[in-house]
């Protein structure tokens, strides 16, 4: 097993070599450039280095030269593995710095492993660079030529890519076919680097009019083109044949090239038909390619495709508008459908979560009293059998108490079901009068002291009176229960004319009713649990079935309203809800 350093600025290239080295049983190391590689060689002393040529910070040649300059590591075997190794001069430069093996990307894995094995088995002392100045000159020249070529290629590709991107964005967003043709004219000029471009298209009607667009011409020249006839001369031949054509025109006279006399002078040109598979509508002409003596076959191919695309756009312009209108309608319908699906999905998730919570709660709350009934019944049976009447009667009383608890829980569950399923019967409901009625009904005995409830003026709403009464019964009853331990309990029932919901701070256009107490309160972060069935924040410290606030939520939501709670432990709680707009 040998230690091998892989030097390449591309992680994917390193990964391939590292995988092969591990497969061959070697220990791979990695570096992203020559500078880091030198540090790795000094520290780890690998038996072999596989190095790329063109890298940032320090290229492969410079790395090897500095490697050979340090006596302690100068004899390290190096393989060049690069896609840029093409010139004979580069091979000679590699030999000059003591690198005899070169792999060209891509190389088959078997070949890579074979060369690695040869290098490790036949490692030999590397010759130092004989003529440092000559090496530097050749090194600099090769890198400069290579980088200049790459820069030129990148600039050309970047210019064409930029033009294509801009064209695609513009054509995709433009619905008017004539405006689109103007963009096609400008785009063709930018895409292929012409001095000027002219586009002429016949109107699709029988009017005989020609739409003319130009880019790169003086204003007077562009004005003169408005008299063009689309199918005359060379342009007419191109339209008839449906093929692009390149031509040279050394004298510059457009008439000699077969172009209309109103055209400006040009030395060479490229013209393509704007056509669909069925009809030819016009043409686009590019004049004088910038930085060249003429247009290339590749330019001709690209313009042919581009002009054909323009022909289809022009032919289908009116259809495109109709399709887009239909698409907009379909998109709107789809958005509405998606909203309904999302809303329905959310509702189903809520129902499922509610059912899961409901099942857990029912199982938990019924298991207690039912288990007590079963245990007490068995014991009562034993005491009856032993003629211990007193003990049997005591356990019969336990059975009765547990049965009563179970009955109360079943009643609460039935109330929750009615709140979920009952149909609404809306009528005018005076909330002030209804709140007073509820407080009176909660008064246990006629002789008892009045309940500490203050009712402020409330609005009249359109709602189901019976269901809203249940909301007030549950909220006011809870407020009285949880504030009973206060030395001066107080409950307020009031209304805010304009309110904000507590969840998203969203303005509400309906009156916000509230029931506020000065009782034990609760942690506000746990407020969402309050409206889930069987969720009791205070445990068994207060009596209750754990479904009262769930009933409140169901009723409020059936009316299209919202309910939320806010509290601080020890400082009371406020429950707020809406039912819809007030009746004027």
Question: Last residue of some domain: 315, 348, 367?
Answer: 315
**278 in Cβ contact with 316 (< 8 Å):** no
pLDDT band at 541 (very low <50, low <70, confident <90, very high): very low
Rounded to the nearest 5°, which phi and psi values hold at 32? -95, -10
Question: Last residue of some domain: 315, 345, 367?
Answer: 315
Query: For residue 167, what pLDDT is reported?
Result: 66
Average confidence (pLDDT) over 63-84: 87
Asked if the structure places residue 334 within a domain, the reply is: no
Same-domain check for residues 214 and 288: yes
DSSP secondary structure letter of residue 277: S
pLDDT band at 540 (very low <50, low <70, confident <90, very high): very low
Query: For residue 128, what pLDDT is reported?
Result: 47
Task: Give the model confidence (pLDDT) of 20-38 as tens digits.
Answer: 999 999 999 999 999 999 9
Same-domain check for residues 208 and 310: yes
DSSP secondary structure letter of residue 582: B
Query: For residue 433, what pLDDT is reported?
Result: 94
What is the CATH number for 37?
Answer: 3.40.50.2300
Same-domain check for residues 118 and 185: no
Q: Measured between alpha carbons, how far is 154 from 313 in angstroms, rounded to an integer?
A: 31
Asked if the structure places residue 346 within a domain, the reply is: no
Residue 10 structural domain: 3-148
Same-domain check for residues 469 and 520: yes
Question: Last residue of some domain: 315, 337, 371?
Answer: 315
Structurally, how many domains does the chain consist of?
3
- 289 compared with 501, residue with greater pLDDT: 289
Asked if the structure places residue 87 within a domain, the reply is: yes
**51 in Cβ contact with 78 (< 8 Å):** yes
Query: For residue 8, what pLDDT is reported?
Result: 93
- 314 compared with 208, residue with greater pLDDT: 314
Average confidence (pLDDT) over 53-66: 85
Asked if the structure places residue 512 within a domain, the reply is: yes
pLDDT band at 130 (very low <50, low <70, confident <90, very high): very low
Task: Give the model confidence (pLDDT) of 452-474 as tens digits.
Answer: 999 999 999 999 888 888 889 88
pLDDT over 70 (residue 544): no
Same-domain check for residues 19 and 133: yes
Asked if the structure places residue 460 within a domain, the reply is: yes
Query: For residue 150, what pLDDT is reported?
Result: 58
What is the CATH number for 302?
Answer: 3.30.450.40
Q: What percent of the chain has pLDDT over 90?
A: 26
Average confidence (pLDDT) over 540-555: 69
Query: For residue 20, what pLDDT is reported?
Result: 94
Task: Give the model confidence (pLDDT) of 233-257 as tens digits.
Answer: 899 899 988 889 999 999 999 989 8
Query: For residue 85, what pLDDT is reported?
Result: 47
User: Which range has the worst mean pLDDT, 101-105, 431-435, 506-510?
Assistant: 506-510
Query: For residue 190, what pLDDT is reported?
Result: 85
How open is the CA angle 258-259-260, to the nearest 5 degrees? Answer: 125
Task: Give the model confidence (pLDDT) of 284-324 as tens digits.
Answer: 999 999 989 999 988 898 889 888 888 887 777 645 556 66
Task: Give the model confidence (pLDDT) of 82-129 as tens digits.
Answer: 775 455 666 667 777 778 888 888 889 999 999 999 999 875 544 544
pLDDT over 90 (residue 227): no
pLDDT band at 436 (very low <50, low <70, confident <90, very high): very high
The first and second tokens of residue 250, run together, are 């050394």
Same-domain check for residues 53 and 196: no
Query: For residue 407, what pLDDT is reported?
Result: 64
pLDDT over 50 (residue 539): no
Which of 113-117, 162-166, 333-337 is modeled with the greatest confidence? 113-117
Asked if the structure places residue 383 within a domain, the reply is: no
Query: For residue 59, what pLDDT is reported?
Result: 84
Query: For residue 238, what pLDDT is reported?
Result: 92
Structure-token match 């004298």, residue found? 251
Same-domain check for residues 180 and 123: no
Alpha-carbon dihedral sign for residues 489, 494, 499, 503: positive
Average model confidence (pLDDT) across the chain: 79
Helix axis angle for 431-442 and 465-483, nearest 10°, is: 50
User: Which range has the worst mean pLDDT, 6-20, 379-393, 429-443?
Assistant: 379-393
Q: What percent of the chain has pLDDT over 70?
A: 72
Same-domain check for residues 311 and 439: no
- 424 compared with 470, residue with greater pLDDT: 470
Same-domain check for residues 429 and 571: yes
The first and second tokens of residue 581, run together, are 């707009």
Asked if the structure places residue 56 within a domain, the reply is: yes
Which residues does 14 contact at the CB level (< 8 Å), separation at least 6?
A: 6, 8, 30, 32
Q: Measured between alpha carbons, how far is 115 from 112 in angstroms, rounded to an integer?
A: 5
Asked if the structure places residue 391 within a domain, the reply is: no
Query: For residue 414, what pLDDT is reported?
Result: 62
CA-CA-CA-CA torsion for 6, 12, 17, 18, nearest 10 degrees?
80
Same-domain check for residues 102 and 230: no
Q: Measured between alpha carbons, how far is 110 from 99 in angstroms, rounded to an integer?
A: 21
Query: For residue 421, what pLDDT is reported?
Result: 56
Query: For residue 365, what pLDDT is reported?
Result: 52
Query: For residue 504, what pLDDT is reported?
Result: 47
pLDDT over 70 (residue 142): no
What is the CATH number for 480?
Answer: 3.30.565.10
pLDDT band at 41 (very low <50, low <70, confident <90, very high): very high
Same-domain check for residues 197 and 281: yes
Same-domain check for residues 13 and 124: yes
pLDDT band at 153 (very low <50, low <70, confident <90, very high): low
Query: For residue 134, what pLDDT is reported?
Result: 52
pLDDT over 60 (residue 211): yes
CA 318 and chain centroid, separation: 34
């Amino acid at each position: 097993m040998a230690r091998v350093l892989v030097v390449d600025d591309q992680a994917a290239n390193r990964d391939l070599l590292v995988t092969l080295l591990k497969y061959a049983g070697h220990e791979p190391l990695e570096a992203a450039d020559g500078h880091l590689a030198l540090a790795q060689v000094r520290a780890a002393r690998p038996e072999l280095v596989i190095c790329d040529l063109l890298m940032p910070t320090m290229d492969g040649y410079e790395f090897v030269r500095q490697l050979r300059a340090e006596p302690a590591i100068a004899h390290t075997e190096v393989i060049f593995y690069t896609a840029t190794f093409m010139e004979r001069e580069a091979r000679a430069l590699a030999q000059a710095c003591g690198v005899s093996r070169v792999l060209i990307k891509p190389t088959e894995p078997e070949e890579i492993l074979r060369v690695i094995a040869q290098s490790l088995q036949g490692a030999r002392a590397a010759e130092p660079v004989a003529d440092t100045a000559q090496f530097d000159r050749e090194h600099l020249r090769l890198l400069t030529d290579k980088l200049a070529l790459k820069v030129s290629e990148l600039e050309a590709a970047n210019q064409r890519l930029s033009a294509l991107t801009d064209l695609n964005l513009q054509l995709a967003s433009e619905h008017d076919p004539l405006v689109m043709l103007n963009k096609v004219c400008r785009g063709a000029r930018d895409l292929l680097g012409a001095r000027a471009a002219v586009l002429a298209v016949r109107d699709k009607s029988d009017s005989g009019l020609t739409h003319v667009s130009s880019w790169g011409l003086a204003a007077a020249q562009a004005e003169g083109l408005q008299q063009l006839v689309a199918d005359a001369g060379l342009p007419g031949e191109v339209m008839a044949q449906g093929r692009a054509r390149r031509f040279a025109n050394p004298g510059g006279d457009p008439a000699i090239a077969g172009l209309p006399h109103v055209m400006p002078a040009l030395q060479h040109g490229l013209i393509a038909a704007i056509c669909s598979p069925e009809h030819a509508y016009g043409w686009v002409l590019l004049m004088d390619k910038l930085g060249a003596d003429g247009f290339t076959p590749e330019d001709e191919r690209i313009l042919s495709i581009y002009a054909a695309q323009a022909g289809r756009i022009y032919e289908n312009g009116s259809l495109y508008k109709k399709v887009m209108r239909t698409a907009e309608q379909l998109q709107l319908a789809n958005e509405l459908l998606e909203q309904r699906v999302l809303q329905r999905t959310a509702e189903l998730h809520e129902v499922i979560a509610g059912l899961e919570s409901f099942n857990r709660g029912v199982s938990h709350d019924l298991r207690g009293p039912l288990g007590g009934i079963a245990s007490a019944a068995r014991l009562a049976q034993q005491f009856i059998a032993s003629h211990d009447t007193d003990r049997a009667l005591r356990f019969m009383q336990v059975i009765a108490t547990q049965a009563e608890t179970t009955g109360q829980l079943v009643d609460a569950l039935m109330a929750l079901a009615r709140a979920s399923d009952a149909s609404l019967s809306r009528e005018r409901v005076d909330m002030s009068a209804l709140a007073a009625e509820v407080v009176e009904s909660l008064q246990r005995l006629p002789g008892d002291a009045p309940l500490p409830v203050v009712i402020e003026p409330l609005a009249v709403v359109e709602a189901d009176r019976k269901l809203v009464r249940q909301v007030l019964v549950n909220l006011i009853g809870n407020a009285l229960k949880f504030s009973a331990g206060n030395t001066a309990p107080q409950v307020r029932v009031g209304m805010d004319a304009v309110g904000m919901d507590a969840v998203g701070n969203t303005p509400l256009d309906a009156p916000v009713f509230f029931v506020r107490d000065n009782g034990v309160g609760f942690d506000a972060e746990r407020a969402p649990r309050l409206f889930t069935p069987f969720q009791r924040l205070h445990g068994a410290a207060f009596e209750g079935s754990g479904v009262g606030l769930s009933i409140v939520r169901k009723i409020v939501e059936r009316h299209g309203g919202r309910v939320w709670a806010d509290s601080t432990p020890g400082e009371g709680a406020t429950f707020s809800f809406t039912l819809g707009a007030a009746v004027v």
